[in-house]
Amino acid sequence: MSRHILLHSVAIDESMMNRRNTMIRNAILVFILTTLPLTLAAKGDSSAGKDKAKICEACHGADGKSVDPSYPNLAGQYESYLIKALGDYRAGRRTNPVMAGMATSLSDQDILDLAAWYSSQQGLKDLSIK
Ligand code: HEC
């Protein structure tokens, strides 16, 4: 009798563990499936960036080559640098009244697209020392 109860409780434990394992497996699957599109989307689209850069042209030039020395050139700048700079202006870590105003309305995707656009232009990046 007591042996029967013992076997029975082992069987219950196993079925609970199986259920727990299935739940964990499902949770991992859901996590992967929901984060996958985000990681795929977290890439800049340079042609979308080109459109979004229209409002930047007035100062930074049509393709990131500035119209005036008081505005930095963006053409050919490292993508990661541009993403950081725009994120910093938006967060207020880097303060400049003009760029703070420009960056507040940018979404994460806008920043990625703009960075993809400017970094793909001919310009900076020539690191040769003459
Ligand atoms: C009215 C002029 C103006 C407009 C429009 C403008 N910027 Fe700027 N931008 C500036 C100035 C001035 C600076 C330098 C600010 C500083 O010293 O931090 C700057 C700096 C930057 C920097 C940092 C460059 C570096 O070398 O560190 C980035 C990136 C940038 N702008 C991107 C943009 C983008 C993207 C847009 C459009 C959404 C834009 N800017 C629109 C004037 C402008």
Ligand 1 centroid to Cα of residue 118, in Å, is 12
Q: Is the CB of 100 under 6 A from ligand 1?
A: no
Q: Looking at the chain, list the stretches that DSSP marks H as alpha helix, in order from N- to C-terminal side.
A: 2-41, 46-52, 57-60, 79-91, 97-103, 108-119
CA distance 13 to 17: 6
pLDDT tens figures, 61-84: 999 999 899 999 999 999 999 999
Residue 110 CB coordination number (10 Å): 18
Each residue's pLDDT tens digit, 1-18:
555 555 556 666 777 777
Q: Which of 60, 77, 80, 106 should be mutated for ligand 1, with most atoms under 8 A from CB?
A: 60
pLDDT digits (tens, 9 = 90+) for 22-66: 777 877 666 666 655 545 557 999 999 999 999 999 999 999 999
- CB under 8 Å to 29, separation ≥6 — which residues? none
From ligand 1's centre to the CA of 127, what distance in Å? 22
71 lines ligand 1 (CB under 6 A): yes
Ligand 1 binding pocket mutation candidate from 68, 102, 112 (most atoms within 8 A of CB): 102
Q: What is the pTM of this model?
A: 0.74
